[in-house]
Each structure stands twice: as C-alpha cells, then as structure tokens.
Amino acid sequence: MCNGAVIAPQFGDGRADAAARATLQRAFPGRTVEQLDIDALGSGGGGIHCVTQQQPVP
C-alpha cells in the first residue's frame, strides 16, 4: 500500500486478475488498486516487494 493506492501483481489471466482487483477494491474502498505486470520480476524469482526496497548509498 502507498499514498492512496494498493499495488498488486497482474498475471495475464483476465478473469483472475479482475477478481483479485475487485477483492482488493472491496477491502480498500478508499484507495486506487493498481495492478502491475510482474512477468519479468517473477521469472527472476522476485516480486513487487523485491523492487520497492531501499537502495544503499554507495
């Protein structure tokens, strides 16, 4: 979750993605649900959480 939104994965299955979006929208009625295609992340073994972490200063 972030400022007014819920970020969720999208897997390319229209029916399942729509059902997930609807469920999240009911659970978080005051937020926008944004689904992101994570195929590239998933193929590397990661997810949204993995690419939203802090980066150390070199």
Q: Which residues are catalytic?
A: 50
Q: Is 50 helix (H, G, I), strand (E, B) or coil?
A: helix
Kindly state the greatest CA–CA separation across the chain: 44
Q: Write out the two tokens for 51.
A: 């690419």
Q: What is the DSSP letter of 12?
A: S
